[in-house]
Structure 1
Amino acid sequence: MKLRPLHPIVIDLAFLAVAVTDAAINIDPTDLLGNASMGLACVALIFRRRWPLIVFLLTLPAALLSTGIFASLIAIYTLASLTRRRPILIAGGVALIACYTLPWPPPPFTSVSGFDTIITLGYAVALAMAPALLGQLVQAQRDLSLRLKEISEAQEHQRLLTTQTVLAKERAQLAREMHDVVSHQVSLIAVRAGALQVRTNDPETKEAATTIRQLSVNTLDELRHMVTVLRASGSLPTDLTPQPTIGELAQLVAGSGISATLEADLPDDVSPPVQRAVYRTVQEALTNVRKHAPGADAAVRVWAENGDIRATVTNTPPTRPMLALPGSGHGLLGLRERAELLGGTIESGPTGDDGYRVQLRLPQKKP
């Protein structure tokens, strides 16, 4: 039986209760400054998820001026579980060790025992490292869960693409069979019916031949329409029909699974092939951001300039480590071939801030 995770509010209340209990046990009626620092530390824990570094700094006086230490331990655990800046975490651990080790007010130098100081320092190091390492473990577990979810989504997307590939091949094969076999035979029926219609003098036979010929012609029109639809669906769109347009970019960006923005300013007379090329380029670029730059933000911009349609997809550096995901490696190559067929170009490469940019240029009207 899988245990359900506790609600964050329950965890926060439990941590706050532990800190308040620790402060209550260590209250010294004669030490107003120490009592105030413990009270400040307990109140600060309410905001530990929103401002973990500030809350940790507010709990340090309690570790220095009083014997209440649990608020500081909870704060450094929260900081370790949320921050990705190791220098800040190390500095925080050193500050906590110093506050716990150094007595306040400082005693005369001659009264300090070296052996006692070493024991206290070792205890302080162990006390500070335990919650810090636990926080880092929680952060690693959270990142792993996110990566497993992304891998699952990528595998589901790959399965969908494989299914669409099989459907496209079957549709293309069916279109060929209908064009080469069925259409040919129906055409022969129409020709023979027309010949019979001309040669016969029997009214009933002439009427039957006319009906057969008309039905054959109608059937040929329907077959041609079906063949056109089947062949059009062989280019592997995300939705088999209809083909995507620039008007669907907002839905594509919103459903990309990453933090992305869209800026689009295009005229109304963009040709359907150009619209499909822009859509596919943005789709492939956002997929690559999700696969190769986990945690990055993306910005999509589409506009018209000097008779060309331009599109750029720029992403920031990844914030989480990348795991190898399955892929054909032909995505950008296919986009480049599509752009060249339309008389355009596509360029891609890293940006100056360790991000990545894909740039598409297409003539508004095919040359």
Structure 2
Amino acid sequence: MSTEGLSIPGISMGSSGAGAADRVRRFRLAGVFAALRRGVFAPLRRPVVTTVCVELAVAMLVVLDVWLVVPPKAPPYSIYLSGAACLAVVLRRRFPFLAMLAAVPGFLVGWAQLASMITLGMLATRRQLGWQTWVGAALVFTCRFVQWPLDEFTQLGWREHFLDGIYSVFVAGMPITIALLIGARAEISAKLAELAKSRDRERRLYADTIRAEERARLAREMHDVVSHQITLIAMQAGALQAQAKEGPALETAQVIRGLSTRTLEELRSLVSVLRSGSEDDGPRPGIGELDHLIRTADVPVQLSVEQLPDTLPSQVSAAAYRTVQECLTNVHKHAPGATATIRIQAASGGLDIEVENERASRTGEHLPSGGHGLTGLAERARLLGGSFETSGTKNGGFRVRARYPLDR
């Protein structure tokens, strides 16, 4: 049956041959574009190639900005200084302040306005609102406001000076504004990445705590209910074995008693595994990795370790590491600039951990939290038979104390 000439509301149908040809042509064009993306344009996505292309485009723009406005009888020194300003743009990434200083003379006595704006923008991106940025802004403003030669500048009226002042503010302020936006975007990206890592860590800690609690509940149920029932079966099989002197009943009683005894032993082994929390989640960091954690925590830390035994239970070592990790994360998040004091001591059959931080020394952005960090630490300590408490300090800081038994 042919569909040619068939009209259906909302659907346009032509001849099958023409549609197939169109599809073939579209597929061929898509294949050509895909090959171009993979072959010709793929190197353009590399960072080095992209940087080189950007530098070439910027150099071309600043050269054209000078070359297109140079008058026929321009003084040679103004042309040389404008060329030096164009060359300074190439050095703006490694030496932003020196590049800006080198570009300013070409703007004052020449025509290198775009070169001065670009070097000022790079300086503001690197230094933000530091004193070097303010110096650069003042120099660029002066170069735009003052006209060279000076005798022509003194002959201008107040209206021209007023307009030049307005334009100078825009010329000096626009690169700084763009640089501040770039800096704010980078800071927000870093904060979001830090927040994502913190939330992932809190979710993993909370999930570990829930799994440990579920294992403990299963162990209690298996010990209190299943183990009790199997013990009763073994006792009943023993009584039946004592009553049945011979025959099939005696063999059946022996089999039941042997199976129930073996099942009880396996059940007790399983309960022991559940209570110990052993699982194949991979290696966990312990107290031996605290040095690396402190070096990468971006928080000033004073560490004191006393009377540690040669070996620690794996659960206690992991719990100590997680406690310090969570506390340092909270100090970095909620008390920027504060010093954290960590005291670890083994005494009276337990491992005592105390983390205390001062009040924040600088203002930081408030980041939302998942709220599971300290809660998970408290649940972990409770499951290990220890204790966990938090309190404020007199100087406005925060203190966390945890104790984990060593007889695990």
**Alpha-carbon distance change, 362 to 102 in structure 1, aligned in 2, over 3 angstroms:** same
Cα 1:192–1:297 change in 2 (3 A) is same
Which deviates further from its counterpart, 42-51 or 263-272? 263-272
| Equivalent AA in structure 2 for residue 271 of structure 1 | L
Aligned pair in 2 of structure 1 residues 11, 320: CA closer, same or farther (>3 Å)? farther
CA drift at 1:19: 1.6
1:76 corresponds to 2:117: no
Task: Give CA-to-partner distance per residue, 1:302-348, whole Å, 9 cap, x none.
Answer: 9889999888798997796333333257469849978xx87999998
Would you say the 8 A contact 2:381–2:403 is kept in 1?
no
Identify the match of residue 194 of structure 1 among 217, 224, 238: 238
Structure 2 CA distance, aligned partners of 1:140 and 1:204? 85
Match in the other structure for 1:13: 56
Q: What is the correspondence of 1:283-294 to structure 2 with a 5 Å cutoff?
A: 283-289=325-331, 291-292=333-334
> 1-side partners of 2:94 and 2:330: how far apart?
31
- Cα distance per residue 1:177-225 (max 9 Å; x no partner): 2111111111112222233344432265545434433332332222223
Give, in angstroms, the shift of residue 62 of structure 1: 2.0
- Aligned-partner SS, 1:107: helix
Residue matched to 2:142: 98
1:163–1:350 CA distance, 2 compared to 1 (3 A):
same
- Over the aligned positions, Cα root-mean-square deviation in angstroms equals 4.8
Amino acid across the alignment from 2:147: P
Q: Structure 1 CA distance, aligned partners of 2:272 and 2:305?
A: 32
Question: Is the Cα–Cα contact under 8 Å of residues 298 and 332 in structure 2 kept in the other structure?
Answer: no
Give the Å deviation of 1:268. Answer: 6.9
Superposition deviation, residue 269 in structure 1:
0.7
Counterpart of 1:141, as a letter, is R
Q: What per-residue deviation string (whole Å, max 9, x for no partner) do you get for residues 241-289 of structure 1?
A: 77652245578679x8x65899999977142265234312222124325
SS at match of 2:185: helix
Q: Does 1:282 align with 2:282?
A: no
In structure 2, C-alpha distance between the alignment counterparts of 1:8 and 1:298, rounded to whole Å:
40
Say if 2:315 is the partner of 1:271.
no
8 A Cα contact 2:144 2:171, kept in partner: no
Alignment-derived partner of residue 46 in structure 1: 90
C-alpha deviation, 1:299, in angstroms: 9.4
User: CA offset at residue 46 of structure 1?
Assistant: 2.7
CA deviation string 1:43-64 (max 9, x = no partner): 3323433443333233222222
Post-superposition CA distance 1:116-140 (Å, at most 9, x none): 3222222111111122212222222
Are 1:64 and 1:104, in contact at CA under 8 Å, matched by a contact in 2?
yes
Contact residue 271 and residue 364 of structure 1 kept, 8 A? no
Q: Deviations over 1:8-55 (max 9, x none)?
A: 443333222212222333557754443343333333323433443333
The gaps in structure 2 that reach 5 residues or longer are 1-44
Matched residue type, 2:171 = L
Q: Among the aligned pairs, what percent are the same residue?
A: 32
Larger Rg: 2
- Indicate yes or no: 2:165 matched with 1:85: no
Matches of 1:324 and 1:301, distance apart in 2: 25
Q: Which moved more, 1:296-305 or 1:116-125?
A: 296-305
